[in-house]
């Protein structure tokens, strides 16, 4: 059994500033879920939903996204600190019991099979690919 990649495509990337905010790296719309190297940011409404699911090994920290060119701050975001990391070499040896987020190579968000079932029944329209099929 493999984890499922939560399919997220972002229009813009983010860069973490020294003050803890995240700055957009190009012009474009900020998405409800932002995933990139060493960050997973979600709008507060989605974070509240995730928190209600009692997901293991994840914590929630309020954060701000700053659109520098437009000098606009998005303060309705939460950083998900995912405490289950792996590399593609580890994919066959993961403990996938329970509801878990997993972070591959510090930048790709995966979910356990049990969490996938929960997320599929939500109103957010999450899409998934199994294992590393998206990367092949």
Cα–Cα dist 96/115, whole Å = 10
Residue 1 clears pLDDT 90, i.e. is over it:
no
- pTM higher than the cut 0.85: yes
User: For the segment 15-52, what is each residue's pLDDT rounded down to a tens digit?
Assistant: 999 999 999 998 888 999 999 999 999 999 999 999 99
What average pLDDT does this structure show over 59-78? 95
Residue carrying structure tokens 């975001």: 77
Largest CA distance in the chain: 45
CA distances, 103 to each of 63, 64, 88, 120 (Å): 19, 21, 10, 19
Summarised one tens digit per residue, pLDDT across range 85-103 is 999 889 889 999 999 999 9
């Amino acid at each position: 059994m493999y984890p499922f990649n939560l399919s997220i495509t972002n229009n813009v990337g983010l860069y973490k500033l020294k003050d803890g905010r995240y700055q957009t790296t190009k012009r474009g719309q900020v998405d409800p879920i932002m995933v990139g190297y060493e960050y997973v940011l979600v709008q507060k409404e989605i974070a509240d939903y995730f928190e209600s699911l009692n997901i293991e090994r994840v914590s929630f920290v309020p954060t701000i996204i700053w659109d520098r060119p437009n000098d606009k701050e998005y303060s309705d975001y939460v950083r998900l600190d995912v405490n289950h990391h792996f590399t593609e070499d580890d994919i066959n040896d993961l403990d996938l019991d329970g509801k878990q987020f997993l972070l591959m190579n510090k930048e790709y968000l995966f979910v356990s099979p049990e969490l996938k079932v929960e997320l599929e029944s939500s109103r957010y329209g999450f899409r998934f690919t199994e294992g590393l099929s998206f990367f092949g």
